[in-house]
Amino acid sequence: MKKSKWTLWFVLALGAIFLIRVFWVNDSLDYFPLLFFIAGGILIYYGLKSNSHRSNKSDLPALSKKREQEYINAGMSNSEIELFRQTMNQTKKQIEHLQATMNKSGKLRAVDLRHDTIKAAKALFKEIVSSPKRMPEANHFLYTHLPNLVDLTDKFIEINEHEVKSRETYDKIEESIQIIDQMAALITSDYQKFVADDLDDLDVEISIAKQSLKQDQDYKEHEAR
């Protein structure tokens, strides 16, 4: 949008120079056509900007009253809700794209099976949706690891589908798989870190349960004597 903005102002400047030359009559300038041109350009710019914003919003799935209330109860402002929904909508598309891409290659499927990449990505997505205020904890997954893995797998498929491959091509394919494997492992690690507190809580519950079972067993043995 920033690039489009400067392009528009450049066109307006050229148009203004052109109009000055056209409407310069009898050593004086008729300002009305010039102002009309500039005003029209500004209206067109903001019209396009507004349409673009509406298009981005319409791309989002409908927000249910229940989900909206959950966001409000979590203390999220309207702008935070909007950013969260746009981010998660983009993340969902990236996960779906990654899954489709990995299914195109046996080597990529092997990476997925080795690390449960897609399963971990989907699970982390659900965890973030359930706890929107914790989204910053998943920044590496949302903005670095997942997008990079999508780009890498896309590039891998593009190179792998070359009909004629040189030694250099095979070396690049092998190098790409190694990097993809590492990135896939990072996504699994992102999920494990996000739910680490839940696992700690489970360990505590298991420990308490074992203690309770042991006490119950000791009591029964004591009663049997």
Q: Report the candidate in 56, 57, 55, 23 with the shortest Cα–Cα distance to residue 37.
A: 23
Helix (H, G, I), strand (E, B) or coil at 29: strand
Residues 76 and 10: their CA atoms lie apart, in Å, by 40
Measured in whole angstroms, the distance separating CA 76 from the mean position of its chain's CA atoms is: 19
Residue-level pLDDT at 185: 95
Q: How do residues 123-134 score in pLDDT, each as one tens digit?
A: 999 999 999 999
Residue-level pLDDT at 84: 93
Residue-level pLDDT at 162: 82
**Tokens 């590496």, located at residue:** 140
Secondary structure (DSSP) of 121-164: HHHHHHHHHH-GGGGGGGHHIIIIIHHHHHHHHHHHHHHHT-SS
Residue 164 phi, psi dihedral angles, 5° rounding = -115, 120
Q: Which two tokens stand for residue 3?
A: 């690039």
**pTM (predicted TM-score):** 0.64
Residue-level pLDDT at 2: 47
Span between the terminal Cα atoms of the chain, in Å:
82
Residue-level pLDDT at 145: 96
Measured in whole angstroms, the distance separating CA 72 from the mean position of its chain's CA atoms is: 22
Please, are residues 93 and 164 in contact by the beta-carbon 8 Å criterion?
A: no
For the chain, what is the mean pLDDT? Answer: 78
Q: Which two tokens stand for residue 122?
A: 């989907």
Residue-level pLDDT at 128: 95
Residue-level pLDDT at 137: 93
**Tokens 């109009």, located at residue:** 19
Residue-level pLDDT at 202: 46
Residues 146 and 225: their CA atoms lie apart, in Å, by 62
| Apex 151 CA angle, 84 and 189, nearest 5 | 65
Residues 7 and 154: their CA atoms lie apart, in Å, by 31
Ranges under pLDDT 50 in the chain: 1-2, 52-55, 201-204, 207-209
Q: Which two tokens stand for residue 137?
A: 């904890």
Domain-by-domain residue ranges, the chain?
2-58, 67-194
